[in-house]
Amino acid sequence: MINELVLLSKLSLPIIAIASVFIAWQQYSANREKLKLELYDRRFIIYDLIVQSIHTALYGLGEFEEDERVQLYTAYNEARFLLPDDIYRKVEKARSFTC
């Protein structure tokens, strides 16, 4: 009886280990996807603000209000950390155009 329990416990350890690895991989994949989506949201906010500022500057729709200017400067500052270097250089060109 005890030998059977020992054998059963030896067989269950690899099953538990495989299940644990599977769960860990699923959590890793889910967290990676969540990070991608969060970065996309933050990058889209930067894109939207920059496009709006260029549109305003091109078509002379007036000066930016103070809160819009703060949002735009925040977007430019966040762009350095959230965007790849080649895209950030283009954002810097837009910054010199709109500010």
Task: Write the pLDDT tens digit of every residue in 30-87.
Answer: 999 999 999 898 889 888 888 888 777 777 766 777 777 888 888 888 888 888 888 8
CA angle 52, 56, 60 (to 5 degrees): 170
What ranges do the domains of the chain cover? 2-98
Q: How far is the C-alpha of 68 from the C-alpha of 86, rounded, in Å?
A: 26
Q: Annotate 47-91 with DSSP letters as a single string.
A: HHHHHHHHHHHHHT--PPPHHHHHHHHHHHHHHHHHS-HHHHHHH
CA atoms within 13 A on the CB side of 39: 11
Indicate the pTM of the whole model.
0.61
